[in-house]
Amino acid sequence: MDTKGLTGAEALLRLLREMGVERIFASPGSEWSPVWEHLAKPYGSAEEIPLYISSRHEEVAVAMASGYAKASGKLPAVMIHTTVGSLHATMALRGALHQRVPMVVLAGESIGFGETPGPDPGRQWVLLADMGGPARLVERCVKWSFGLNSSALLPATVQRACQLAMAAPKGPAFVSVPMEFLLDTLPTAPPPSASLPRAGAANPEAIDELARVLTEASSPLIVTEEVGRSARAVDHLVALAELLGAPVVEGWIPGYVNFPRTHPLYGGSGPPSHIASYLKECDVVFLLAALAPWHPPSSAPGPGTKVVILDDEPLHSQIPFWGYRSDLIVTGEVEPSLAMLLERVSRTIAPHSRAGNAERWRARHEKTREALRAEGRASGTRKTIETRWVAHELNEVLPADAVVVDETITHRLDILRYLDRLTPGRFFEASHGGLGTGLGEALGVKAAAPDRTVIALIGDGALNYNPVLAAFGASQEHRLPILIVIFNNSGYLSQKAGIPLHYPDGWAVKSKRFVGTSIAPSPDYAAVAQAFGGYGEKVTDPRQVRAALLRGLEAVSSGRVALVDMTLEPINPGGEA
C-alpha cells in the first residue's frame, strides 16, 4: 500500500486493515482526534479501514479485543489513552499475554509538547506524559513494546506489530504513537509488503520420538488446558486419545472446551487430588498445551512415569516459576503438530486395538457423570440456591449455539462439571490469576459472533472488579446483548478460604469474624441492568432458577442485556465482617 502523502492517522487505519485487522476496540483519548477525523471520511468501501468500536474504559476495550480474538481467530487492534489509559489496560493486557491472545495495542503520547512546528497537541500533555512513555510503562504486560520515534517508521512498525502479535507464542504487541506523527504527512515511499506468519509444526524427528513414547506406553494419560483454542486441534486430540485408549484430564483452569465433556475418555477437571488419582495409574503423562497440570510442581509422577510435553512455548518464559519435570519437550504450534503426531501414532496402533484401556476409562467416566447428575438433582431440593444447581439448570436450557464466558473462582469447578453440553469453541475462561475482564470478554465474543447467544458467568466478587458501567454502556451502545449470571454469595469466598486453611484454630475461626471478606449489604445488581434499558432479576428460590434463566435468555433474544442475580448462601451468615 502506498502511504506516501497520507497523514499518519490515515496510514495507520489503512495499514491495520491491510494486515487483517477488521475491528478496533477503543477507549477514547484526545490524541486520537486525527484518527477520528479519518474515520469520518467517506471511503470507496467499508473494507478500506477497520470498524471502530468505542468503550468507556480501557480494561473493557482490551477485554473485548481478547474475547473477539478468541471467538473469531482474527487479529484485533486496540486504541487507548496514553500512559493513564495504559495503566487501566495493564490488568487485561497481562491476561492476554499469559493466555496468548493476539492483538495490536496502540497508545498515544506527545513528544513535542507544543514546542515543535505544526499543530499544538495541547497543554494537557505536560500532565499526561510519564518518563519513558506508555511503551516503557507496559513492557512487562505485553510480548513486544515499542515507542515510535520517527514518523517515517510508522508504516513498517504497524506491519511488524501485527506480525509479532500473530507469531508463536501469540500475544499483545504494543506501539506508542506520538500525536505529532498522526498529524504528519508521511514523507516516505510505501513499506515493503508484509504477511502474517503461518503456524509452524514441530520438528518431524521430535514428533517421531513423541509418537514412539506414547505408543510404547501401556497406560498413557493426556493433560491439557488450552488445546481448545482450536476446534480442529480438539478433533485431532479426540482421535489420538481413542487410538491410545488414553483418558484426557483438564488442568485446574482450562481456558476452553479442550475435549468433549460427554466423551467416555474425558477425565474431567478438578483439584490436585483429582489428577493425582489418574497419575497413579499411568506410565506416561502427555502435557499438551498445559500450564499448571498439578500442584505443587515438584509433586511429579514417580520415576517410573515419563512426562512428555508439546506446546508452542512449552517452558512458559513469561512466568517467574514453572518447575515441572520433563523427559521430552517438543516445541511447535499445537494444531499442525498434533495432526502430525496423530498420523505417526496411527501407523503403529490400529483403531480399537486398545479397547480394554478405553473400556476401563469409560466405566470410570460414566460412574462420575452419574454421581454428578444425582448431586445436581439433589442440589435443587435445598432451601437456598447452590452453584451446582444453577449450572445444572443452565445446562438444561442452554441454547445450542450458546457461548459461555466464565469469570469465577470458587464456582468454577461446578460450572466445568455441569456444563457438559458445551462443545469446542463455546467456552472461554476470562480470568488468568486476575479478575476484572469477564464482562468485556463476553462483549468481545458477542462482537465476533453477533448471531449467537453469549452468557457471562461471574461471581459477585469478580463483578465488583469489572468496570461494570462501562461494560453495560458498550452493550447498550453497540447493541451487544449478553446474559450475565451472577453467583452471589455476598463476599469473597476464595479469600475467606485461606484463613481456616492456614489458621484452623485461629481467632477468625473461633470468633467467626472474617475481616474484609464480605460484600455487604449486597447491592441491587438487577437495577444496574435496568438502568441501561436491560432486564434484571434477583432469584432466591431454587425452584425459580430455570424460569429466571429462560426469562434472561428471552430478553437477550429481543436485543436487551440481561442480568440474573442468583442469591446463594452468604459466606458470612449473620453479616460477620
SS (H, E, C) 340-355: HHHHHHHHHCCCCCCH
Mean pLDDT of 219-242: 97
In the beta sheet, which residues pair with residue 285? Answer: 221, 307
Which grid coordinates are listed for 411?
Answer: 464456582
Which grid coordinates are listed for 245?
Answer: 485408549
C-alpha–C-alpha distance, residues 41 and 193, integer Å: 25
Please determine, for residue 159, whether its predicted confidence score (pLDDT) is greater than 60: yes
C-alpha–C-alpha distance, residues 179 and 133, integer Å: 13
pLDDT band at 575 (very low <50, low <70, confident <90, very high): low
- Tell me if 107 sits within 8 A of 171, measured CB to CB: no
Classified as helix, coil or strand, 567 is: strand
Mean pLDDT of 281-302: 92
Mean pLDDT of 373-398: 96
C-alpha–C-alpha distance, residues 444 and 471, integer Å: 10
Please determine, for residue 5, whether its predicted confidence score (pLDDT) is greater than 90: no
Place of cell 442440589: 379
Please determine, for residue 403, whether its predicted confidence score (pLDDT) is greater than 80: yes
C-alpha–C-alpha distance, residues 155 and 13, integer Å: 10
213 vs 47, more confident:
213
C-alpha–C-alpha distance, residues 359 and 264, integer Å: 8
The pLDDT of residue 336 is 96
The pLDDT of residue 576 is 58
The pLDDT of residue 81 is 95
- Tell me if 405 sits within 8 A of 438, measured CB to CB: yes
pLDDT band at 193 (very low <50, low <70, confident <90, very high): confident
The pLDDT of residue 114 is 82
The pLDDT of residue 126 is 82
Mean pLDDT of 236-265: 96
pLDDT band at 1 (very low <50, low <70, confident <90, very high): low
Flag the least confident range among 65-74, 234-243, 270-279, 389-398.
270-279
Please determine, for residue 282, whether its predicted confidence score (pLDDT) is greater than 80: yes
Provide φ and ψ at 228, rounded to 5°.
-75, 0
514 vs 116, more confident:
514
Helices (H) and strands (E) in the chain, counts: 22, 18
Domains plus CATH for the chain?
8-183 (3.40.50.970), 204-366 (3.40.50.1220), 380-567 (3.40.50.970)
The pLDDT of residue 166 is 97
Question: In a 10 Å sphere around its CB, with 0-12 CB exposed, 13-18 middle and 19+ buried, how is residue 499 labelled?
Answer: middle
- 198 contacts: CB under 8 Å, gap ≥ 6: none
Residue type for 97, please?
L
Please determine, for residue 577, whether its predicted confidence score (pLDDT) is greater than 60: no
Please tell me the pTM assigned to this model. 0.95
Q: What is the mean pLDDT of the chain?
A: 94
Please determine, for residue 142, whether its predicted confidence score (pLDDT) is greater than 90: yes
Please determine, for residue 4, whether its predicted confidence score (pLDDT) is greater than 80: no
Mean pLDDT of 41-54: 89
| Secondary structure letter of residue 151 according to DSSP | G
Please determine, for residue 574, whether its predicted confidence score (pLDDT) is greater than 80: no
